Structure 1
Amino acid sequence: MKKEYSVIPESMRNMEAYGFSWMDFVTAIPSPLFVVTSYKSNGKPNACLQSWACFNGSPRGFYAILSSVNKSGHMYQTIKEKGEVVLNFPSADIYEKCTATIANNGFDNDEITLSGLTAEQASSVNAPRIKECFLNLECRYLWEREIKDGDTHVLICLEVVNVCADEVHLDENVQGRYGEKGYLYNVHYPINPENFEGKSHDWIATLKKLKDMGEY
């Protein structure tokens, strides 16, 4: 039997939502994890672990849509100042180092190096990329907008101008982009709204290919 929710369930009324909608936690739709890197105004690398994004393209280009960027954070500030960033996709073996960027976020910090990772200059944009990440998308800022007027977060569109990827991850017969060594996903607070007791947390997940849909 399906349940329907158009207003916040009673069990969730006092939960800490950290700025998210209660529907985030009821749906718990996974989103890819990546680290956004750029240069701060003082030249130090900025790194921000990010999720809540989608990626799509057309014959005119390939784009990253970051759907929840805090206007008061370093990431938003550097994107607006520099207009160029790199999206770095880690595998599980370096996830803890990527989360360390959350703590090493001082304005005068090299947030990549302090977290035990290696910064290298991107090829096509003026931004650092993380050497240990198996995929790096070099991007330029296109536009932003508030989903609703007065929001503290904005939606930002980036155009991907260069793709840098490890060979072993490109070859599905060697390692590929999926499974335990591939893309990581943020599973955001999956809770049961019928009996939520105030105890929940995020999960990290990987993606397993299920069925070959055949050739185009």
Structure 2
Amino acid sequence: MNELPASQAYRLLEPGPIVLVTTSQNGKPNIMTMGFHMMIQHAPPLIGCIIGPWDHSYSALRATGECVIAIPTVDLAEVVVDIGNCSGDAVNKFDRFDLTPQPASDVAAPLIKECLANIECRVADTSLVDEYNLFILEAERIWIDAGRKEQRTMHHRGDGSFTADGDVLDLRERMVKWRHLQR
């Protein structure tokens, strides 16, 4: 085995797919690309997200306490990277990247029509924001386009390369302790 610097742990433990986060402040919607997030618990459904003051969306999330986590698929890979390479303070990302905002039910932040799924969230806890830029969000509604042809998500490898979801290993029959999660 070869040793890697401990600072590269994120490259091995990337928790989930790259997502897009939408916010809306004073009627102005924005989108950011986010790779650092994690599920915290099932019920209530809590999601931890790293969004720092270097992100234009940070002030909107702090001010409004709500956002949408949109889950793009591999056909949007280049758009997802390009969204992360510009700032919402200088450009309307919905217009620039030809994405369609759709109204959410419970939050002002828009859903993204072109994404596989959208999760409406409210900030549940900000106690770790000042020290770690860690927002704890509670998922309130989930919208999914089950008929979407492309459903593979992409995962950042920490160096500008990505992996795409592929084969599914179905081990549900072995998950005897967690059957209540199989809905």
TM-score exceeds 0.5? yes
Asked whether the equivalents of residues 145 and 154 of structure 1 are also in contact (C-alpha less than 8 Å), the reply is no
Q: Helix, strand or coil: the match of 1:32? A: coil
Larger helix percent: 2
Q: For 1:51-200, what aligned pairs fall within 5 Å after superposition?
A: 51-59=35-43, 61-66=44-49, 68-107=50-89, 109-146=91-128, 151=131, 153-168=132-147, 181-189=151-159
Distance 2:2 2:79 in 1: 39
Deviations 1:98-153 (A, max 9, x none): 33323442425322222111111111111111111110000001113448xx75x5
Letter in 2 for 1:185: H
Cα–Cα, structure 1 residues 93 and 73, in superposed 2: closer, same or farther, change >3 Å? same
The higher radius of gyration belongs to 1
> Whole-Å Cα distance in 2 between the matches of residues 80 and 29 of structure 1?
25
Q: 2:20 pairs with 28, 35, 40, which one?
A: 35
How far the C-alpha of 1:94 sits from its partner, in A, is: 1.9
For the aligned residue pairs, the C-alpha RMSD in angstroms reads 2.7
- Contact kept? 1:39, 1:46, Cα under 8 Å: yes
Any conservation in 2 of the 1:98–1:115 contact (CA below 8 Å)?
A: no
Q: CA deviation at 1:4?
A: 6.0
Tell me: CA distance 1:109–1:134, structure 2 relative to 1, closer, same or farther (3 Å): same
Unaligned runs of 5+ in 2: none
Residues of 2 paired with 1:213 and 1:96: CA distance?
34
Q: What is the identity, as a one-letter code, of the residue corresponding to 1:74?
A: H
**In the aligned structure 2, how far is the partner of 1:207 from the partner of 1:71?**
34
Contact 1:28/1:188 (CA < 8 Å) preserved in 2?
Answer: no
Partner SS state of residue 98, structure 1: helix
Q: Is residue 208 from structure 1 mapped to residue 167 from structure 2 by the alignment?
A: yes
> In the comparison of the two structures, how many residue pairs are matched?
175
Q: Is the 8 A contact 1:88 1:136 kept in 2?
A: yes
**Aligned partners of 1:36 and 1:88 also within 8 Å:** yes
Structure 1 portions without partners, runs of 5+? 10-20, 170-174, 190-200
Q: Normalising to structure 2: TM-score of the pair?
A: 0.80
Please report how far the alpha carbon of residue 52 of structure 1 lies from its aligned counterpart in structure 2 after TM superposition.
1.5
What secondary structure is seen at the aligned counterpart in 1 of 2:168? coil
Indicate conservation of the 8 Å contact 1:97/1:116, yes or no. Answer: no
Aligned-pair identity (%): 23
Q: Which residue of 2 aligns with 1:195?
A: none
Query: Secondary structure of the residue that 1:86 maps to in structure 2?
Result: strand
